[in-house]
Amino acid sequence: MGSYLSTATSKTRSVDSDEVHGSVLNKRAKITTYDCGSYSRIIPTLPDELSFQILARLPRIYYLKMKMVSRTWKAAITGSELAQLRRELGLTEEWLYILTRVEANKLECYALDPLFQKWQRLPSMPLFANEADSTGRTRCSAFQMWNVVGSSIRIADFFRGWFCRRYGLDQMPFCGCSVGVADGCLYVLGGFSKAVALDCVWRYDPCHNLWQEVNPMISGRAFSKASLLESKLYVVGGVSRGRNGLLPLRSGEVFDPKTGLWSELPEMPFVKAQVLPTAFLADVLKPIATGMASYNGKLYVPQSLYSWPFFFDIGGEIYDSELNSWSTMPDGLGDGWPARQAGTKLGVVVNDELYTLEPSSSLDSGQIKRYDAEEDVWRTMVPHIPVHDFTDAESPYLLTGLHGRLHVITKEANNNLQVIQAVLENNTGNDVPEGNVLWNIVASKNFGAAELISCQVLNV
């Protein structure tokens, strides 16, 4: 929605609400792009320019109820002008979005306002089923049921079924969808349904509080990795179904939210996987992308070779969007990138520093490490994290950056989910003594038997 000139303001000049933002008001175009039937002001006694200034300063947690005031208020709150004004004024808010699996066939999403410590449950994702078009390509229909959206298993179990042929692919009930963010929206991408890798993409718009299907990916893929770089959403790797089982994907693609179009990336070379001594090992040990982080203006993709029950780190590769090419990751970074579990490596960038979470040999702790680019080593920053590793859980803990600080999301034995923040005191060296780390509980909620799947942060 654009700003517009009301009947009253067409006869008189707009009055600036304060000196600081006066220039912003004067620069805003006085036209409208939405129609609420017969015209009415947002707040009857005020010009709409001032009404937008008021709405922009209210906490976003109130917007859901404010939309019910009137059609005019709903149009104003869900429109693009209010979101643009909040960005101009520096009033956007970072919320944490957590995806959980409640049952074998159900995925639920929650949003946390960390300032007010309030949770909001997102609308349920639309249900659909995959179907093949006349070209044989997998497509998705928004009008049919997708009965496995939340059903997922750990990628280690996934590959165990692949190599051991313990299960037929048609009987393996999992999803393996990826989650990413772009342009202030949450995206859920691909996954498996009835042994078919899906190319479909669903987007959650927090302003409208709804899910919408967008253009599908170029390739169907499950267990792929997604990350945001320069306002575009990148998806790389994953697996699809081949003639003799599962096929690891070297391909990648990028989504431009402004055009809604996908573009192909050069294939990942998997350079270190090409030096295997025999053809037998090359056939048995499959290269997979096990993580991805947007760091120093590039995409960092750690990689592994997997043959159940063995898991080998083989470094990784870096994608440069300006050169549109891949290069080999430094040895210390790739080989030392800790694995949370077979096939999954956590990585998050906070204040331009790359962090990861390394599980310990016990089931109730872990440590946070930071990458030292100058010496090409991972350094321990937090030696002990109070997390619980439930072996049956797909993601017993998650790592994210929120308000410029590291946060860990974990579940306790009583099903209470906690979002905790590590506050480092007197941090003068590379290593942080455990006594200098204070743990603050930002928020908690009982999710019952729900399992953690993924988390993302949106700044809206």
- What is the model's pLDDT at position 142? 36
- Residue 363: CA count within 13 A, CB half-sphere: 9
Which positions of the chain have pLDDT values less than 70? 1-39, 104-105, 127-174, 244-245, 275-284, 308-311, 340-343, 360-365, 388-395, 424-436
- Is the omega angle on the peptide bond into residue 44 within 30 degrees of 0, that is, cis? no
How does pLDDT run across 311-342, given as a tens digit for each residue?
A: 678 889 999 999 999 999 999 999 889 876 65
Distance CA 338, CA 344 (A): 9
- What is the model's pLDDT at position 1? 41
- What is the model's pLDDT at position 350? 93
Distance CA 333, CA 330 (A): 5
Distance CA 108, CA 126 (A): 11
- What is the model's pLDDT at position 131? 42
Contacts of 38 (CB under 8 A, 6+ apart): none
- For domain 123-342, the question of CATH label 2.115.10 is answered with yes
Q: What are phi and psi of 395, to 5 degrees?
A: -135, 85
CA angle (337 as vertex; 316, 229 as ends), nearest 5: 60
- Token match 């669903």: residue? 202
The H or E element spanning position 148 is: none
Q: 400: how many CB neighbours lie within 10 A of its CB?
A: 21
Contacts of 317 (CB under 8 A, 6+ apart): 268, 269, 270, 271, 301, 303, 326, 327, 328, 329
Domain boundaries, the chain: 22-88, 123-342, 346-453
